[in-house]
Structure 1
Amino acid sequence: MLWYQHKSATAGGDQRTMELIGQLHYENPSLEKKFEARFNITGHSKGHAQLVISRVNSNDSAEYFCAAIHLVFRMSLSSTALTFCLLWAADVSLSVLITQWPENIFNSTGGSVEIECFQNNTDYEYLYWYKQPRGGGIQLMSMLVAGFPRYEEGFDSGYPVVRLEEKHWSLRILDVQEKDEAVYLCAAYTQTNGLMNLIGYSYINSNPEYEKEFENRFKITRTNVKNGGLTIQSVTPSDSAVYFCAASNTSGLTVVVNQSGDQILKPGLTVVFECSLGPGFSMSSYTMLWYRQRHHGATVEFLTKEHEKSEGRFKAMPNAAGNSFPLQITNVFLNDSSTYFCAANEAHCDSGASEAYFGGGTKLTVLEKNCTVTEPTVKVFRPSPKECEDQKEKKKTGKKKTEKKTIICVANEFYPDHVKISWTINDGEPPSGMVSTDSIAKRDGDYYKISSRLRVTANQWYKPGNNFTCIVSFYNITRWINVSDSVTGEEDKAREKYLKITQTAKISYTVIIIKSCFFGAFVTLLLLKLQSSAGKEKK
């Protein structure tokens, strides 16, 4: 719940806009600095909220507006393979805007890309980058605190993050590979009133880093790995507080969030999604949350979190003893069809910063009326004989790029869209070529269709013994089944033709040489005979 103040235009023509007085999150008020002294908000954000003004004076003459908003994410969306923008906004100020660019990136392997983010009207100090591979969950890559980066395992090399300016930060991918094809999310977080403020931190054998408001009078000392201290110079009444010292393990250990498998249901039924933390992790150290995403690349919506009272059809059922956090949806509707993500949110007591670790996601499809579950038909198409080497690469580098052949797999006439596509060469050998699969299946009437492309070298394709198989895994309510099709490599007809021509040329050349030898011998013998006859006539 929010309260705003709107004053009429002044005599000088100054058009006043509404000013935010403060907000109420559950029973916790948060007031803008200008209104802290005499204004207060009471009540509960899920019921009603009252604005109380003490010692009213003439300057308080205005119109007052109450507003309610449910905002967890505000995003700048990109639907392509590489870019996506997210604002992490759980328990933060409202009316926040964040911008990410470029919107679309298409890049070949071996190149580098840079994605940038900017906070338009905030200056949140905790900055994050997340990655969502096609058909996968949302993974934390890195975070920036006071300009200092911290990387998750697997992203500590080749993915530098930099705070370019106060509100501006970026992610670079130095050597783009096939595994980097994904949706990328940037996020910003801040602590709210009532949470502890980060003063600063230090690493062994390095200078301390301070938050801006503490850099002048506060000093952190570090004697060894286990001991340190905080010194406050020129103490003032505003320094009255409880001070906490904390240690953080930056070993890069990634939280494991396990989720149950996909679900396909008829409308009106009840479904339960299981979620639990992996071995070695306890819910007592994390806040569990549930989100949903309509389709890959769409907005990520917040549903509920641990310790929050569930209302309506969505009910979280935390079980701390069992280290699980299931989500129940009753009376499912068609628009409940989404991928549901469970996340573990670790709140650091030393800073209030909060990174979220997501599970792989559970896909739910609520069946439409008159639509039956139908497995896909799969067809693999051979490469075009006209496909050849990349002429642009040849002009750019001066070298002829290895010739590639593209094998296309099409799966169609299936419902619902619970499919995964993989490729094999020779029944198990993983493909060395590049696989490119549509991010989502496209609707075609009552059914779906999806395609995937496998690029292999010409040497691989022009081997009749090689077998290229496209495997489409389809979930048919009870289990995953595989439907596949394959093609085999072929003889290089162009090369075969060339070899025949060269062989014919060699034979012809050999015959000509032999004939020439015979002709030369004949001419030599004739000349010798003529010379012998001429000698006899002279005698």
Structure 2
Amino acid sequence: MCPLFYTFGFLLLVLIRHVETVTFVQSSSQIVNEGTKELEIHCSHDGSTYTVMLWYQHKQSSRSVSLIGYTVLHSEPQNEDQFKQRFLLKRENMTQGSLIIHTVNASDSAVYYCAANFSFSVKIDQPPFVFSQKGESTVTLQCKQDDNTYYYMYWYKQTSSDKMQLVTYSINKNMSSIEAPFTSSKYFMSRPEVEQFYLQPCISVNNYDPAYFGKGTKLTVLEKDRKPTPPVVKVLPPSKDECRNQKDNEKKKTLVCVAKDFYPDHVSVSWKIENGDDNIGEATDTAALRTGDSYTITSRLRVSAKTWFIPTNVFTCNVTFFDGEKYSHYTNSINGEEAPDTNDMTREKFLKLSQNGKLSYGIFIAKGCVYGAFVAFLVWKLQGSTGK
């Protein structure tokens, strides 16, 4: 099956064009041991007219979101082929359902999303792979869908940076348009029938039937004989050379927080400045980095140099860690520093010293002239006395 909401980019496209919203409640993060016989993730929402509930899996190592399956109220669950063995979909009523995973293994570690939709009747058929030789003049990509009431059809290109770019779209049979920066000299879209068209990654869109997603439930399956290990947190002070030779209103200082040696990667990082209200910006790694048997994550806090050079200001990094049962907080703090006395040559200092040097040199020349005139006067007097 290749249904309407197979590509996560479709969600982004539709939500920005629809005003209605649906509120979801999903199970919180789960950490279980490998071999757990049964794990259930619950989902509920407040969309009382949404007959379809869908489940998606997103692994950190993958750029795509995989459809697990869906349920239509009062109908049998429909699972994708790769999820038919151990994944069971349940539907209690219009607004409540759950995903059950049997005999959990390490490959099940992922974020699981619940979604809801009004209807679910369109199937898209597109070859998963197309191979071509370097130098070939043309490559044709095909796509079909089974509902001729879906007039708008789109082709997207996904780059290595995960960015989705609209290449072209069609509003009906034999009607298409190429989007910039793509050009008609390189890309051509053919749509001989309402249900059939050609080019690259296709999405069939009905603006009246958007899908709404929950925030997701992160599942981590612990490796064999491993137990959760909390992080070690350390805040590193700014580099002393970071804002040298810059104007006062441009000086910044960057503090770095390093949380390491934790397992698994259920962490979040936040900053707090005590006795100071300056917070220019925070930036935390999008995901923890696996190093050996543990994880490391870094976060950066940028503040003004003026805020940093106040010893009473306290900068605290807080790391929240989930061990499968409870959330714990691990912190580390450092104080600001005294502003250093620096002899660095700035432009202002150079100009001031130059002006002082010019003034001193002028005074020296003036004194030299006066002294020379005085000596000449004495010599003239002595010559006059000798002549008499």
Partners in 2 of 1:390 and 1:497 — Cα distance? 8
Q: Residue 338 in 1 paired to residue 110 in 2?
A: yes
Q: 1:295 to 1:494 in 2, by over 3 A?
A: farther
The 3-state SS of whatever aligns with 1:492 is: coil
Aligned to 1:405: 253
Contact 1:424 1:430 in 2 (8 A): no
Amino acid at match of 1:273: I
Task: Give the direction of change, closer, same or farther, for the CA distance of 1:374–1:431 in structure 2 (3 Å limit).
Answer: farther
Tell me the alpha carbon deviations over residues 138-194 of structure 1, each in whole angstroms, 9 at most, x when there is no partner.
xx651xxxxxxx3x6xxxxxxxxxxxxxxxxxxxxxxxxxxxxxxxxxxxxxxxxxx
2:43 to 275, 281, 299: 275
The Cα shift of 1:309 comes to: 3.5
Report the residue type matching 1:329 in the other structure.
I
Distance across 1 between alignment mates of 2:4 and 2:277: 44
Matched residue of 1:386: which SS? coil
> Residue 380 in 1 paired to residue 235 in 2?
yes
Across the two proteins, how many residue pairs are aligned to each other?
Answer: 256
1:419 matched to which residue of 2? Answer: 267
Q: How far apart in 1 are the matches of 2:228 and 2:277? A: 30
Aligned residue in 2 for 1:228: none
- Inter-CA distance 363–496: structure 2 relative to 1 (3 Å threshold): farther
The aligned counterpart of 2:185 is none
Could you tell me how far apart the structure 1 residues matched to 2:112 and 2:277 are? Answer: 30
Partner of 2:317: 470
TM-score by length of 2: 0.59
Question: How far has the Cα of 1:255 moved from its partner?
Answer: 1.3
Paired residues of 1:436 and 1:452 also in contact (CA < 8 A): yes
SS in 2 for 1:326: strand
Aligned counterpart, 1:319? 92
Segments of structure 1 that go 5 or more residues without pairing to the other structure are: 1-24, 26-68, 75-85, 89-127, 131-139, 143-149, 153-251, 392-398, 503-539
Alignment of 1:454-493 (within 5 A): 454-493=301-340
* Cross-structure match for 1:266: 33
| Structure 1 residue 496 displacement after superposition | 11
The runs of at least 4 consecutive aligned structure 1 residues that moved more than 6 Å come to 69-72, 348-351, 495-498
Q: For each residue in 1:98-154, what CA deviation from the matched residue of structure 2 results, as whole angstroms up to 9, or x when unmatched?
A: xxxxxxxxxxxxxxxxxxxxxxxxxxxxxx636xxxxxxxxx651xxxxxxx3x6xx
Residue 284 of structure 2 aligns with which residue? 437
In the alignment, which of 278, 285, 290 is matched to residue 55 of structure 2?
Answer: 290
User: Offset at 1:430?
Assistant: 7.5
Aligned-partner residue type, residue 272 of structure 1: E
Offset of residue 422 of structure 1: 0.8
Which letter does structure 2 place at the counterpart of 1:129?
L
SS at match of 1:460: helix
Correspondence list, 1:195-344, <5 A = 252-269=19-36, 270-278=38-46, 281-282=47-48, 284-295=49-60, 298-307=63-72, 308-310=77-79, 311-320=84-93, 323-344=95-116
8 A Cα contact 1:389 1:402, kept in partner: no
Does residue 27 of structure 2 align to residue 129 of structure 1? no
Give the aligned residue type for 2:286: S
Q: Deviations over 1:429-473 (max 9, x none)?
A: 886221111111111111111111111111211111211111111
CA distance in 2, matches of 1:359, 1:431: 34
Amino acid at match of 1:436: A
> Which aligned pairs between 1:133-152 and structure 2 lie closer than 5 A?
141-142=15-16, 150=17
Amino acid at match of 1:377: V
Equivalent residue runs for 1:86-101 within 5 Å: 86-88=8-10
Question: Taking structure 1 as reference, are residues 306 and 338 closer, same or farther at Cα in structure 2, changes over 3 Å only?
Answer: same
Secondary structure of the residue aligned to 2:211 is strand
- C-alpha change, 1:254 and 1:402, in structure 2 (3 Å) is farther
Cα distance in structure 2, aligned partners of 1:390 and 1:439? 32
Aligned to 2:198: none
Q: Distance in 1 between matches of 2:281 and 2:58?
A: 27
Work out the CA distance in 2 between the residues paired with 1:444 and 1:461.
Answer: 32
Question: SS at 1:306's partner residue?
Answer: strand
Pick 1 or 2: higher relative contact order, CA cutoff 8 A, min separation 6: 2
Contact 2:229/2:263, CA 8 A, preserved across alignment: yes
Aligned-pair identity (%): 37
Aligned-pair CA distance for 1:261: 0.5
Partners of 1:421 and 1:330 lie apart in 2 by 33
What amino acid is aligned across from residue 271 of structure 1 in structure 2? L
Counterpart CA distance in 1 for 2:116 and 2:277 is 33
Compared CA separation, residues 296 and 361, structure 1 to 2 (3 A): farther
CA distance in 2, matches of 1:448, 1:72: 33
Shift of 1:268: 1.6
- Map residues 52-91 of structure 1 onto 2, 5 A cutoff: 73=6, 86-88=8-10
Cα deviation, 1:368-392, whole Å, max 9, x if unaligned, reads: 113221000000000011101797x
| Paired residue secondary structure (1:285) | coil
Change in 2 beyond 3 A, CA 1:129/1:87: closer
CA deviation profile, 1:216-257 (whole Å, cap 9, x unmatched): xxxxxxxxxxxxxxxxxxxxxxxxxxxxxxxxxxxx232111
TM-score by length of 1: 0.43
Q: CA deviation at 1:297?
A: 7.0
CA contact (8 A) 1:426 1:467 kept: yes
CA contact (8 A) 1:423 1:430 kept: no
Unmatched runs of 5 consecutive residues or more in structure 2: 122-148, 151-205, 350-388
CA distance in 2, matches of 1:348, 1:430: 51
**Contact 1:72/1:301 (8 A) holds in 2:** no
In 1, Cα distance between equivalents of 2:98 and 2:92: 8
Q: 1:423 to 1:312 in 2, by over 3 A?
A: same
3-state DSSP of counterpart to 1:493: coil
Letter in 2 for 1:472: V
Residues 344, 357 of structure 1: 8 Å contact kept: yes
